[in-house]
Amino acid sequence: MENSKQNTFKIEKTDEQWKQDLSPDQYAVLREAGTERPFSGEYNMHFEEGTYKCGGCGEPLFTSESKFDGHCGWPSFDKEIEEGKIVEKLDKSHGMLRREILCANCGSHLGHVFDDGPTETGLRYCVNSLSLDFEGDSIK
């Protein structure tokens, strides 16, 4: 696990630029590593077909095929859309040891990843809805 805060992200903005581009709630989650209340997010029980993108920069992160009901109150995915779209950082906050996940493109906080997923990957990417935007698949 790398310490991604030392990475240089493709998209770099000042705090003032982020505050202009994001709602106050999005800023608190994406830029200050906040967490939305469980079961309150728009995408927790959202199961339309499409792509979940970073709410900070629009980078594709997850597909609907990797989404499942994790019964945890936040959107859950078992893998990223493509390797390298997400970076991990050790998180020792709140008296816990966790793996924080960040968008590899802009460094925005997404949530955490756990090794208790029910699928073959064994992973559960637990993501804040406020960290995501959704683009539905077009009808062919």
Strand blocks (E) in the chain: 50-54, 60-63, 67-68, 76-77, 86-91, 98-103, 109-114, 124-127, 132-136
pLDDT number for residue 4: 42
Report the C-alpha gap between 31 and 39 in whole angstroms.
21
**This prediction's pTM:** 0.91
Number of structural domains in the chain: 1
**35 in any annotated domain:** yes
Q: Would the annotation count 103 as a binding residue?
A: yes
pLDDT number for residue 7: 61
pLDDT at 10 > cutoff 50: yes
Tens of pLDDT, residues 91-107: 888 888 899 999 999 99
**74 in any annotated domain:** yes
Question: Residue 131 in contact with residue 106, Cβ under 8 Å?
Answer: no
**4 in any annotated domain:** no
Active site (annotated) includes residue 72: no
Q: What is the mean pLDDT of residues 122-129?
A: 98
**109 in any annotated domain:** yes
| CATH code, domain carrying 64 | 2.170.150.20
Q: What is the mean pLDDT of residues 104-121?
A: 96
Report the C-alpha gap between 86 and 60 in whole angstroms.
10
Q: Would the annotation count 57 as a binding residue?
A: yes
**3 in any annotated domain:** no
**1 in any annotated domain:** no
Tens of pLDDT, residues 58-99: 999 999 999 999 999 999 999 999 999 999 999 888 888 899
Q: Would the annotation count 72 as a binding residue?
A: no
* Residue span of the structural domain in which 64 resides: 10-136
Question: H helices of the chain, where?
Answer: 15-21, 24-30
**127 in any annotated domain:** yes
Q: What is the mean pLDDT of residues 4-33?
A: 89
pLDDT number for residue 3: 44
pLDDT number for residue 5: 46
pLDDT at 139 > cutoff 90: no
Q: Which of 30, 86, 123, 126 is catalytic?
A: 126
**118 in any annotated domain:** yes
Contacts of 24 (CB under 8 A, 6+ apart): none
pLDDT number for residue 93: 85
